[in-house]
Structure 1
Amino acid sequence: MTTTDAPDTEQPTTHTNREAMSTEPANSPSAETSPRKRGRGYGALWAAVPRELGFLILTMPIAVVGLSFAATVFFTGVGLLALVVGVFVMVGAFYVARGFGTLELVRLEWAGRPRIERPDWARDGREAGFWRAAFVPFVDGHYWLYVLHTLIVNPIVSIFTWTVTIVWVSMALGGTTGWFWQRFIPESDRGFWLNEWLLDRFFPGNDFSYDVVAGERLLEFVLGVIFLLTLPYVFRGLTLLHEAAARGLLGAWRSEALEVEVAQLAASRGAAVQAEDASLRRLERDIHDGPQQRLVRLQMDLATIERRMERDPDAARELIGEAREQARETLDELRALSRGFAPPLLQDRGLASALESLASRSPVPVVFENLLPAASGLPAAIERNAYFVAAELLTNVVKHSDATSVRLRVAVRDAGPAGHWLDLWVTDNGSGGARLEAGHGLAGLHERVLGLRGQFLVDSPPGGPTIIGAHIPFLPETPSVDGV
């Protein structure tokens, strides 16, 4: 057994499949889609201008097309409600509004805004079958909100933002470049000069003598610079206005997320109960078939020894030797069964030391990579379950894999506000072919990890290698300080 201690930033050492050894499980919090990291400051605002301009310049044409198409279909369906066909026409309008609403969400992401969680249209199986899919829009509030966004909110917001965009871009570009291209335009008699009017308002009765044309060019340039400097802020504000409307009308409801979380917690609790029940039933069966039978025989042998001690001492001594062997075998079986429980070393010195000891007892050579920080803050329940999973996986390697080497790797990952993840990988060079099948050991481990709201990954192609990862979320425990 080889032990490797390294900081938690160290990458896995030599292995034929480094990608599979990544400590980032799919769908873990740190791997989920998250708002892209955006820079801060004025320069970052300018960097986003091209995308936001593309978003804003297209917003009104798309809104007008959506309004025209969706309104035509929707109100046609309303007019035909007296006939059966009107219902289906309205359903078509709902799906048209859903399409334009989804397009708005995609465009916002393209403009650099954080992803807005979409509604789960197929939740509760409501789109399973033709008739369900046809009539669910009438009772699903999301469809009505998408219609409201497509027919009313988005056209109004888009007209405003598109107009402001055109005005701001025109003033910024025209004002800063007008001094160059206006000289090529023939001058005509103008009855109004803005710079002259402003001077008369701020300085009544003045008799300033200056070139009014040059003054107009200078004023236009100053205004152009002002509009140009404020353009990133205006674009960001207009984009945020669209984002607010989309987040309020097109996003998933928090109540739905809570429903999903409750369902997941219920499933996790059920998986944990099933895993513990299966473990207890297996332990009961193992004790009944193993140590219990040996103890019954030991009791009978002792009774026989007691009867023969005076009449046949030689036979009694022979029975004593057999009883001693029975006691030794019983003790070995009890030790093997106890490996499914947390050893005292785990409580005294922590998970890393317990796993190191576990790896040292394995008949197959184990390379142990310890990437746990000195103060990991692992709760006791997480340590016990991680130890149990590692013990089961190493046992499976010995029994089923025909492997000649194993790599056991444990690490902790910071997932930000969501807490931390404990990553446990077991990789062997055996024959592969491991599967999550009901009633088998891996299925029990899968249920145990799910009960902890974690993830259990199995990658075991025929011929190997087999890579199994258990990823368990946890909130670090803060060590207590005496006297505080």
Structure 2
Amino acid sequence: MPADRAASEVDPTATDAAPRRRSYWRLWAGVPRELGFLILTMPIAILGLVVVSTLFFTGIGTIALVFGIFLIVAALGTARGFGVLELVRLRGAGRPPIAPPVWNRNGRGSGFWRSLFEPFIDGHYWLYLLHTLIINPIVSIVTWSLTITWISAALGGTTSWMWRGFIPEYDRDLWLHEVVLDYLFPNNDFAIEPWLGETVFEFIVGLIFLGTLPFVFRGLTVLHDLIARGVLGAWRSEALEVEVTRLAASRGAAVQAEDASLRRLERDIHDGPQQRLVRLQMDLASIERAIDRDPDAARGMLGEAREQARETLDELRALSRGFAPPILQDRGLAVALESLAARSIVPVTVELDLPTDAALPASIERNVYFVAAELLTNAVKHAEASGIRLRVGLRDTGASGRWIDLWVTDNGRGGASAVPGHGLAGLDERVRGLDGVLVVDSPVGGPTSIGAHVPYVALAASDRP
């Protein structure tokens, strides 16, 4: 039995004490970065207050003149710079990144005057100005003072026994005797040697400040972080706007991929089966005319017509692979992929990790089947491979949701890339339309590994077919 496991069984609190100890020392590991952040907070805040207030209030005073407007714009831009510096410093202090606002929403080609007056109508500039002129100076004075107090008390208390004897008349300030003991025990007659008593008292106070130092530093840093998130970070509406834009782009990619597939299918039907059917119709008309006067010729033409019908059927079967086969709807994705692999002229090794209760949406199953079919077709046509491996599995990442991962690997010549206008580019658009990712790893000389990673939402039991 491992020692840790035995200890946890003997003492139930052992498993809780260890994480607490690790958490405390983890706080100490962040003290240098947090100290660097806090010790520079007030000097940077005062510098920002002096520079920005000078520009801003000078601009306000001369706003009747033309250059006053430029000074106000300069003040807003400088405040933005100090705000961005605060975000960078917080990240350097170990805090999670804060999403910055979306600057220059109108793009680079908005023109000089529009760019000049944009800070006046962008609320983020005024929030950054408020942070630089009022919020940060006030908060920084408080946090900087507490930082200096805690460092001084911790270092001074724990080291006073080394240097107190070198300071003249230091022993006149008897905190233990004249403040603590007299306050707690009035009219006491304790006989404690002053030098020893004061040294021990200061050492204990120093240890208290030193032990609580990482908690204080973390709390002060978190305070700055919360203020920055509320004042300097991007608005929730901006995040929703970015998400809507991304979803619109994904939907557009999906529509374009579907439109390209339909156009390709239309072209293939026009150039293939349709032309063969026209020829078959003409051959049948010729047979009808020749069946009475030249039966032998008619029988020969019937053989050609039968061959034409067979070739047309083969082409239609090949084209029908672009549609969801009945086996996918009747027996599920796993069986459909195994059937797809069995029809390949190059041996395919199938590795499926698809639970029977996965409850994949029909649209996800259909698109995964299409992607697998296209990747297998590309490997057979272009890779010159002698073996292919098809691997499909599900993955639950917790915070990122559920994903289905499809990998097609061949031992061919490699060199595949998603060139615009070619098959892999269309697959990339299809996968992006599903909010997924297509990964291509195909060095020259092989092997080629192409993965499609698609997120999905599992169907509830009541929604399953």
TM-score scaled by length of structure 2: 0.84
- CA offsets 1:246-267 (integer angstroms, 9 cap, x no match): 1011111110011111122222
| Corresponding position of 2:40 | 58
Give the Cα–Cα distance (whole angstroms) in 2 for the partners of residues 150 and 411 of structure 1. Answer: 52
Other-structure match for 2:3? none
Show the counterpart of 1:247: 229
The aligned amino acid for 2:318 is A
Alpha-carbon deviations, 1:275-320, whole Å to 9, x = none? 2222223223322332233334434444554555555443333233
Runs of at least 5 residues in structure 1 that lack an aligned partner in the other structure? 1-37
Judge which range, 86-95 or 111-120, deviates more: 86-95
Question: Which residue matches 2:148?
Answer: 166
Alignment of 1:260-409 (within 5 A): 260-305=242-287, 308-309=290-291, 312-364=294-346, 366=348, 368=350, 370=352, 376-401=358-383, 406=388, 408-409=390-391
- Separation in structure 1 between the aligned mates of residue 446 and residue 113 of structure 2, nearest angstrom: 47
Check 1:277–1:39 CA distance in 2 against 1; reply closer, same or farther (3 A cut).
farther
Query: Aligned pair in 2 of structure 1 residues 398, 365: CA closer, same or farther (>3 Å)?
Result: same
Q: 1:67 offset after TM fit, Å? A: 1.6
- The aligned residue for residue 432 of structure 1 is 415
- Which one-letter code corresponds to 2:252 in the other structure? G
Is 1:402–1:431's contact at 8 Å kept on the other side of the alignment?
no
The answer on 1:222 being equivalent to 2:204 is: yes
Alignment correspondent of 2:397: 415
**Distance change (3 Å), C-alpha of 1:58 and 1:188:** closer
Which deviates more, 304-313 or 60-69? Answer: 304-313
Query: Contact 2:174–2:194 at 8 Å: present in 1 too?
Result: no
AA aligned to 1:322 is E
Instruction: Verify the 8 A CA contact 1:430 1:463 in the aligned structure 2.
Output: yes
Q: 2:76, 2:22 → 1: CA distance? A: 39
Q: Say whether 1:108 aligns with 2:90.
A: yes
Distance across 1 between alignment mates of 2:305 and 2:106:
62
- Deviates most, 161-170 or 371-380: 371-380
SS at match of 1:123: coil
Tell me how far apart the structure 1 counterparts of residues 456 and 440 of structure 2 sit (CA, whole Å): 21
Give a deviation string over 1:152-175, Cα, whole Å, max 9, x none: 111111110000011111112222
**Within 2, Cα distance between the matches of 1:127 and 1:299?**
60
Q: Distance in 1 between matches of 2:290 and 2:356?
A: 61
Please give the secondary structure, in 2, of the residue aligned with 1:199: helix
Q: What is the match of residue 199 of structure 1?
A: 181
Inter-CA distance 95–327: structure 2 relative to 1 (3 Å threshold): same
Report 1 or 2 for greater relative contact order, CA contacts < 8 Å, sequence distance ≥ 6. Answer: 1
1:127–1:133 CA contact under 8 A, matched in 2: no
Is the 2:38–2:143 Cα contact (8 Å) retained in structure 1?
A: yes
Structure 2 partner of 1:80: 62
How many residues are aligned here?
A: 444
Amino acid at match of 2:413: G
CA displacement, residues 360-383 of structure 1 (integer Å, 9 cap, x when unaligned):
433455555546567655332112
Residues 376-404 of structure 1: CA distance to partner in whole angstroms, max 9, x if unpaired?
55332112112212222333344445556
- What is the match of residue 179 of structure 1? 161
Residues 58, 474 of structure 1: CA spacing in aligned structure 2 closer, same or farther, 3 A cutoff?
same
Most deviating of 335-344 and 440-449:
440-449
Q: Which region of structure 1 is more displaced relative to structure 2, 268-277 or 113-122?
A: 268-277
Matches of 2:317 and 2:250 in 1, distance apart?
Answer: 31
Change (3 A) 1:39 1:403: farther
Q: What is the SS of the residue equivalent to 1:456? A: strand
Q: Distance in 1 between matches of 2:105 and 2:377?
A: 40
Describe the SS at the equivalent of 2:454. Answer: strand
Secondary structure of 1:424's counterpart equals strand
Over 3 Å counting, the alpha-carbon distance change for 1:481 and 1:247 in structure 2 is closer
In structure 1, the partner of 2:190 is: 208
- Cα-to-partner distance string for 1:33-79 (whole Å, 9 max, x where unaligned): xxxxx997322222222211121111111111222222222222223
Tell me the amino acid that sits aligned with residue 419 of structure 2. Answer: L
Amino acid at match of 1:344: P
Q: Cα gap change, 1:191/1:454 in structure 2, threshold over 3 Å: closer, same or farther?
A: closer
TM-score (norm 1): 0.81
Q: Which amino acid aligns with 2:299?
A: R
Call closer, same or farther: CA 1:225–1:431 in 2, change over 3 Å. closer
CA distance in 2, matches of 1:77, 1:466: 63
Task: Give the corresponding residue for 2:115.
Answer: 133
Q: Is the 8 A contact 1:63 1:158 kept in 2?
A: yes
Distance in 2 (alpha carbons) for counterparts of 1:183 and 1:278: 88
Change in CA separation of 1:474 and 1:39 when aligned onto 2, cut-off 3 Å: farther
CA contact (8 A) 2:99 2:234 kept: yes
Q: Does 1:257 align with 2:239?
A: yes
User: For the residues of structure 1 that align with 2:441 and 2:118, how far apart are their CA atoms?
Assistant: 39
Alpha-carbon distance in 2 for matches of 1:160, 1:61: 13
Tell me which residue corresponds to 2:16.
Answer: none
Match for residue 218 of structure 2 among 203, 227, 236: 236
Preserved CA contact (<8 Å) 1:419 1:476: no
> Structure 1 375/123 Cα, relative in aligned 2: closer, same or farther at 3 Å?
farther
Q: Percent identity?
A: 68
What stretches of structure 2 of length at least 5 have no aligned partner?
A: 1-19
Letter in 2 for 1:255: S
Deviations 1:420-473 (A, max 9, x none): 2333344554363644324x4333323222221223345667777665443322
Instruction: Tell me if structure 1 keeps the 8 A contact 2:174–2:198.
Output: no
Aligned partners of 2:418 and 2:428 also within 8 Å: no
CA gap 1:392/1:218 in 2 versus in 1, 3 angstroms: same
What letter matches 1:73 in structure 2? Answer: L
Deviation of 1:119 (Å): 1.2
Does structure 2 retain, via aligned residues, the 8 Å contact 1:433–1:463?
no
Is this contact kept in 2: 1:195–1:219, CA < 8 A? no
Q: Name the CA distance, whole Å, in 1 between partners of 2:205 and 2:331.
A: 71
Match of 1:152 among 134, 155, 175: 134
Question: What RMSD over aligned residues (CA atoms) do the two structures have, in Å?
Answer: 3.1
